[in-house]
Chain A
Amino acid sequence: GQQVMQIPQYQHVQEGEDFTTYCNSSTTLSNIQWYKQRPGGHPVFLIQLVKSGEVKKQKRLTFQFGEAKKNSSLHITATQTTDVGTYFCADSSNTGKLIFGQGTTLQVKP
């Protein structure tokens, strides 16, 4: 069935350093959505990527969808302590259900 692999599982960075999480699939992804879950919180929708090769930016966050639609990445420039949390990618299906990757937990040292 659908499976989305996400790496790394954990990442510790110094405040101001960059951070990237990668999402990979052996099959073509339909659309990719990205979510952020703060510690003790619930997942919050960040963005959806639909087109092959698509790149979208939200302030310091850059989201990319691979040309073959088999991978995606989220890059954060100059991390801040407010970026702490777990970032999930999720593949959507035609029914709307989302299959989530395992998530990357980001810790930022001030």
Chain B
Amino acid sequence: DSGVTQTPKHLITATGQRVTLRCSPRSGDLSVYWYQQSLDQGLQFLIQYYNGEERAKGNILERFSAQQFPDLHSELNLSSLELGDSALYFCASSVGTGEIYGYTFGSGTRLTVV
């Protein structure tokens, strides 16, 4: 157990639907990062939050949104789902930004859009 908790582990949903992925960071970590991993795209950075505020944005689609709550857990909302959104979604956390200990990743949510 890495200390980063992601739920659910698996999700199967239909095109056009909306889902919410949840992440609880490791205790004491203030930064949360969301990544999408598909077979042909590697680990794509989506968005970063630090202590409740959006800190950096990557190639996140407008259909996707995220937030970090006061208790530091984060949610990634994916709407109007398309077949191409099927992927592994990882959440990672770190104490701050740019420190030497690296990210701690959760075990991921596997999203299948049918």
Contact = CB atoms under 8 A, between A and B. Distances in A.
Are A and B physically bound partners?
A: yes
Interface of A: 30-31, 33, 35, 41-48, 50, 88, 90, 92-103
B41 to A, nearest CB: 8
A99 B42 CA distance: 10
Contact of A95 (B35, B56, B99, B100): B56
Interface of B: 2, 31, 33, 35, 42-43, 45, 48, 50, 55-56, 58, 90, 92, 94, 96-108
A31 B102 CA distance: 11
A96 B42 contact: no
Contacts of A99: 45
Nearest to A33: B102
Among B31, B45, B101, residue most surrounded by chain A Cβ atoms (within 10 Å): B45
Contacts, number: 72
B98 A100 contact: no
B15 to A, nearest CB: 26
A57 B105 CA distance: 23
Contacts of B105: 42-44
A93 B48 CA distance: 12
Nearest to B46: A97
Given A31-B98, A43-B43, A43-B90, A98 B103 contact: yes
B101 A42 contact: no
Given A42-B2, A42-B105, A43-B105, A97 B48 contact: yes
A97 B106 contact: no
Contacts of B94: 96
Contacts of A92: 98
A42 B45 contact: no
B21 to A, nearest CB: 14
Among A42, A45, A102, residue most surrounded by chain B Cβ atoms (within 10 Å): A42
Among B48, B99, B100, residue most surrounded by chain A Cβ atoms (within 10 Å): B100
Given A95-B97, A97-B56, A98-B33, A35 B102 contact: yes
Nearest to B96: A96
